[in-house]
A and B are shown apart, each in its own frame.
Chain A
Amino acid sequence: MLEQYQKQYRNNKRQFVLINKEGTVIESDQQFLAIEAGTSIYDIHPFFECLPAIVDSDEKEISFFCVHLPIEENFFVVDIKFLVKKEHVLLIIDDFTEHYHSYQNVAQTRNESVIKSELTIIKNRELEERERFKNNFIQNFSHELRNPLTSIMAIVAILGDTALTDEQTKMLDFLKESNTNLRLMLEDTLSIGMIDSGKLKIQANEFDLHSLFKLMEFTYKAKAQKKGLQFLCRFDDKIPQYVIGDRLRLFQVITNLLDNAIKYTHTGSVSFNVLLNLKRANTVGLHFEVIDTGEGIAAEDKEQIFEGFNQIATGKKTNGTGLGLTIVKKLLALMGSKIVLQLHQDKGTTFYFDMLFKYPLFPENDRSLQENTKTIKSESSNQPKYKILLVEDDEHVQATLFKMLLKTNRFQINLAYDGAFVFQEVVNNNYDLIVMDVNLPNLNGIQITKLIRDFPFKNIKKIPIIGLTANVYKDQINQCLKAGMQKVLTKPFEQEEFLKVIYKTLK
C-alpha cells in the first residue's frame, strides 16, 4: 500500500523557473517542461501572459491550481506558484497530471448525474403541465358542448310528438340514439376531468342493491340480444338488499364494464356475476365480475387500456371515447377498490373487483322516487296555469325550454335575458316560478337569487327558483342552493326530467 503511494507521489515532478519581470527565462531546471533560458515565457503557453498582471499586483505570492498546459506533444496538468521577488519572479511548477485525471473522473460522474436529475425533473414538470392543460381544455370544451346538445335533445323530443311518417320516426330514433351516445361520451369526458382534478366526491347513502342488479339484468339482456349474444347473470341471494355506498358511481363502473364487454364481443356471451365474499355484523364484501368471450386483449396492452384517451392514441376505431376503462379504474380507486383484468387462455376476458359495503340492519326503504314518477303522468291538462319567468341568455336554449314548457299547456311563460329585467318582471307580475340560467352575463343567477331572497315583499321573496347550469361541480351547485334556489338542473337534461322538477317545485 505505502509503496504504491510513494511511487505515485515520488514521481511527482517539481520544476523551478526563474524569469525576469519582462518574461524572459533566466534559469530553468528542466524537470519536465522544456523551458530554455533566454526564451520568452510567453512563447511557452498563453497562460503565462498573466505575468504582467501578477507583477503589477501587490501580491508577493500567487498560486494557480489545475492549469492545463498542452506543450508540444505533452499534456500537463500543473499547479503553478508565482513568487514575486525584487528583480525577478520565481515559478514553482508541480506536475499533478495523473492526480487530476482521477479527479476529472469524479467530477465527470458528479456533474453528469446532477444535470441528468435536473433535466428529469424539468421534463416531468412539463408533462404534468401538458396533462393539466389537456384536462382543462377537455373539461371546458365538454361544458361548451352541453348547451347545444340540450337544444338538440329537446327539439328531438318535441319533434317526436308531432305527426311523423314511419320513416321519419325511424330517423328520429337514430337521432335520439346518437344524441344519447354523444351525451354519454360527454359525461365520460367530464367524469375523468372531475376525478383528475379531485372534484368528484364519493357519496355514502343507503341504496337498493337488488333493484340495481335487476336494472342491469334487464338493460343488458336487451342490449346483448340485439347483438345476438347471450347474457348470463348470477347474484348471490345472501347479498343484503340495502347497502351504504355510492349508487351512481357503482352504476357507472358496472355499465362501463358491461358496455365494453358487449362492444368487443361478437359471438358467445357476456356474464355479470355478483358474489358474496364475506358478511359480518354490518359489513359485506362483494365480488363483481364481468366475463366475455370477446376478441380479448393483447397481453402487452394489458396495462395501457386503463390509461386515458388510449383508443384515440392507438388509432383503433370503435364507438365511444375509449375512456370507459379509465373511468372504471379511477372511480374504483376513489371507492377503495381496484379493477383486475384476466386474459383467458382461449378467448375473452374477465374484469373483476372486490368491494366492501356497510349495510344497515334496519333499512329506511325509501319509496319516494317511485311516487314522483307517477305524478308527472297524472298532471295533465284542465288544471290552472302557472306563471313562469324563464331567464336565459342563450337564444337556442331559451327557445327549446320555451317549447318544452309550452307543449304541456300548463304554463304561461315570460322571457328575460338579463338580471335587470328579472327585477322589473317580478315586481310587475305574480310569478309562480323562476327558471333561470346560472351563468348569466352581468348579474349571474346566484347573485340574482340572493337579491330576490332579500326583497322586502313576501310574495316576491318566496318565488321558487330553479337554476340551470352546464357546470357539474358540486361547489357551484351548492352555492346556488345556498343562495336560495330550490333546485339546480344540470344541462343537458331530457324534457321529462325538466318537467318533473318543475312540477315537484311547484307543489
Chain B
Amino acid sequence: MQSSKKIVVLGHFGVGKTSLIRRFVTDAFSDNYKVTIGVHITKKTVEISAENNVSLILWDLEGTDDIASLRKSYLLGAHGIVFVFDVSRPSTFQDLNDNLAIIRSNLPYVPLMVVGNKADLVEEHALKNVIEAQEIAVDFIASAKTGKAVNALFLKLATLLTTNA
C-alpha cells in the first residue's frame, strides 16, 4: 500500500531548505543561492520496507525570520515538519525554541524534526558548544553540500509517519 504524506520544510531564509530537498530528491547541490518565494512542492517516494512505500509531498516554503507570520494554509494537513537552521549563523537558531513552540501551537501532534544544516562549515566541537549553549534539542546535524544525514533525516521522518499511521 502506498500513502502520501505532506512534509513542510521551514526555517529562516538561506538556511538550506531548498538545498536539502534537492539533495534528497535529485542528489544534487549548488552553491548558488536562489531565494525561494512562496512554496515549491515536490514529491518523492521512499521505500521503508519491501511492502511499504510512502510518498513524501515536500513543501519547500520561503524562508522567514518570523515564523508567526507564516501563512496557515501552508501548514494545513501537514503530516510532518522539518525545521531547518543554519549552524553557521546564530540568528537562524537563537529563537529556535520559541519558533518551535509557535509551530507546535498550530500542529500539536505531528512529528517535528529539527535539523542543523551546513555542518560542513563548522568544526564539530565548536558545533557541540553552540548547540549546548542554546539548549536546543537537535535531531540531525546535516549538510546538503556533502549529503551528510540528508537521507537519514527524511527516512527517519518517513518511518515515523508510517508507524504512527
Shortest CB distance B125–A (Å): 15
**Across the interface, which residues of A come within 8 angstroms of B40, CB to CB?**
68
Shortest CB distance B134–A (Å): 15
Known contacts A46-B57, A49-B4, A53-B6; A66 and B37 CB within 8 A of each other: yes
Distance of A115 Cα from B74 Cα, bound (Å): 25
Q: Are A62 and B73 in contact (CB under 8 A)?
A: yes
Known contacts A50-B77, A53-B6; A67 and B41 CB within 8 A of each other: yes
Residue contacts A-B, CB under 8 angstroms, 20 given: A46-B4, A46-B43, A49-B57, A50-B77, A54-B77, A63-B73, A64-B74, A65-B71, A66-B37, A66-B62, A68-B39, A77-B38, A100-B37, A104-B37, A108-B34, A108-B35, A111-B33, A112-B33, A119-B89, A122-B88
**A47: Cβ under 8 A from any B Cβ:** yes
CB < 8 Å: which of B6, B33, B90 contacts A50? B6
**B106: Cβ under 8 A from any A Cβ:** no
Shortest CB distance A46–B (Å): 4
**A5: Cβ under 8 A from any B Cβ:** no
Shortest CB distance A476–B (Å): 32
- Interface size counted on chain B using CB atoms at 8 A: 26
| Chain B residue at minimal CB-CB distance from A45 | B41
**B63: Cβ under 8 A from any A Cβ:** yes
**A399: Cβ under 8 A from any B Cβ:** no
Distance of A107 Cα from B33 Cα, bound (Å): 12
Q: Are A47 and B41 in contact (CB under 8 A)?
A: yes
Shortest CB distance B66–A (Å): 13
| Chain A residue at minimal CB-CB distance from B74 | A64
Beyond A46-B41, A65-B38, 8 additional pairs, beta carbon < 8 A: A47-B41, A50-B76, A57-B77, A100-B38, A111-B33, A111-B35, A111-B63, A112-B33
Distance of A56 Cα from B6 Cα, bound (Å): 15
**A72: Cβ under 8 A from any B Cβ:** no
| Chain B residue at minimal CB-CB distance from A59 | B76
**Across the interface, which residues of A come within 8 angstroms of B91, CB to CB?**
118
**Across the interface, which residues of A come within 8 angstroms of B73, CB to CB?**
62-64
Q: Are B6 and A64 in contact (CB under 8 A)?
A: no
**B14: Cβ under 8 A from any A Cβ:** yes
Distance of A47 Cα from B37 Cα, bound (Å): 15
Known contacts A66-B38, A115-B89; A49 and B76 CB within 8 A of each other: no
**Across the interface, which residues of A come within 8 angstroms of B74, CB to CB?**
64
Which residues 31-86 of B have a CB within 8 angstroms of A? Answer: 33-35, 37-43, 57, 62-63, 71, 73-74, 76-77
**Across the interface, which residues of B come within 8 angstroms of A47, CB to CB?**
41
**Across the interface, which residues of A come within 8 angstroms of B62, CB to CB?**
66, 107
**Across the interface, which residues of B come within 8 angstroms of A118, CB to CB?**
89, 91
**B93: Cβ under 8 A from any A Cβ:** no
**A362: Cβ under 8 A from any B Cβ:** no
**Across the interface, which residues of A come within 8 angstroms of B24, CB to CB?**
none
Q: Are A54 and B38 in contact (CB under 8 A)?
A: no
**A228: Cβ under 8 A from any B Cβ:** no
Minimum-distance CB pairs A-B, first 8: A66-B38, A53-B77, A46-B43, A108-B35, A47-B41, A107-B35, A68-B40, A111-B13
**Across the interface, which residues of A come within 8 angstroms of B42, CB to CB?**
46
| Chain B residue at minimal CB-CB distance from A103 | B37
Which residues 434-493 of A have a CB within 8 angstroms of B? Answer: none
**A268: Cβ under 8 A from any B Cβ:** no
